[in-house]
Amino acid sequence: MSALPNYKFSDAEGHDFPVLNAANAFEGRERTEANFGGTLGYGTAKALAADELAHVKSILHRKVATNAAAIDPEHGKLVSGTSIEQYHTVADRIEHAKMFSKAGRILSDADVKAIRETSLFDTVRDMFGDYTLSDEEGVGWEQISFRFVRPNVAQDVGFLHKDDWFWQYNNWPVPAGKKRAKCWVGLVVDAGRNGLGLVPESHTGTFDFDAEQVGNKLAFNPRFNPDDLDIVRFPGPAGQPVFFNYHTLHVGSVNKGNLTRVSMEFTILFN
């Protein structure tokens, strides 16, 4: 079994993450999967409004409370009565791993439809035109998944990877004629202490890996040294999205903050 990696992150300034829009998201080049995200392979856009952020957080809170209640009604009450920011303070009294299985981290169709009403998806439409969200796991609806990362728990974050690697490993077919891009949104974040790190320009590089199933998690063992790479941590506040190329190397950082870090993500399929 692989040891958990200990990646080094560099902290970026806001201007290190260009604001993407319809005009620059493909740098004026052909709207291909490879060209999305410009030179760096990522960027940001307008944040969720405060009321939208609160609404999305309330949807996730209800979802994790439902997950906990399905295991034990008392666990459900405990999670329901604790803010998502303080989730880690009750996590050792409930079955955390079972609650956050891959299936447990995928939102229901109704929750996805509610989140799709936020201004974030106006931004997505402006940038990509007609689009759908992917359903590579085959749940039967457009997927939005989420993650809770407890303070100082290395197991709660994954391995440096390109999202395309999951599709390669699982033999998920890309729907005919579709191209992919990714969006990640921190909902509870402490900039500089946790959040998403991305490797600039990595989408154009060749990075080989070996995949290994470790427990219920897929580990990617790089055939390169991640210490040779600059992993830039997104400095944006809660509610501000990161859009990135499907071939950009990225990873969540171990949470060095005091609150549970909460994020959501989805794959955009565009024409």
Q: In this complex, which beta carbon is closest to Fe ion, that of residue 90 or of residue 174?
A: 174
> Residues 6 or more apart from 174 whose CB is under 8 A from it?
167, 180
For the bound state, the minimum distance from the C-beta of residue 158 to Fe ion, rounded and expressed in Å, comes to 7
String marking each residue 161-180 x if it binds Fe ion according to CB under 5 A = --x-----------------
Q: Which is nearer to Fe ion, 68 or 254 (CB)?
A: 254
Min dist. Cβ of residue 83 to Fe ion (A): 26
Q: In whole angstroms, how close is the CB of 161 to Fe ion at the nearest point? A: 6
For the bound state, the minimum distance from the C-beta of residue 1 to Fe ion, rounded and expressed in Å, comes to 21
Cβ distance 223 to 165 under 8 Å?
no
Determine the longest span between alpha carbons in the chain, in angstroms: 55
String of contacts with Fe ion for each residue 101-130, x by CB under 5 A: ------------------------------
Q: Which two tokens stand for residue 140?
A: 């039967």
Query: Which amino acid, one-letter code, is at 168?
Result: Q
Radius of gyration of the chain (CA): 18
Minimum CB–partner distance for residue 148 and Fe ion (Å): 16
Q: What are phi and psi of 228, to 5 degrees?
A: -80, -5
Q: What is the DSSP string of 16-73?
A: GSPBP-TTTTTTTS---TTTTTTTTTEEE-PPPPHHHHHHHHHHHHHHHHHHHHHH-H
Least Å distance, CB 267 to Fe ion, is 9
Q: Which stretch binds Fe ion (CB under 5 A): 135-143, 160-168, 186-194, 196-204?
A: 160-168
Q: How far is the CB of 165 from Fe ion (least distance, A)?
A: 9
Q: In this complex, which beta carbon is closest to Fe ion, that of residue 61 or of residue 179?
A: 179
Least distance from Fe ion to the Cβ atom of residue 147, Å:
10
Q: Which span sits near Fe ion by CB under 5 A: 9-17, 52-60, 118-126, 157-165?
A: 157-165
Select the span of 74-82, 94-102, 123-131, 159-167 touching Fe ion (CB under 5 A).
Answer: 159-167
Does the footprint of Fe ion cover residue 142 (CB under 5 A)?
Answer: no
CA distance 33 to 171: 18
Hey, which residues between 210 and 239 contact Fe ion (CB under 5 A)? none
- Residues in contact with Fe ion, counted by CB under 5 A, come to a total of 1
Residue 87 · residue 148 · CB < 8 Å: yes
User: Which H or E run contains 264?
Assistant: strand 261-270
For Fe ion, which is the closer residue by CB, 78 or 249? 249
Is the alpha carbon torsion for 12, 13, 16, 19 positive or negative? positive
Alpha-carbon distance 255 to 38, whole Å? 29
CA angle (263 as vertex; 164, 183 as ends), nearest 5:
40
**Segment contacting Fe ion (CB under 5 A): 155-163, 171-179, 187-195, 198-206?**
155-163
- Measured from each CB, the residue nearest to Fe ion is 163
Residue ranges that bind Fe ion, judged by CB under 5 A = 163
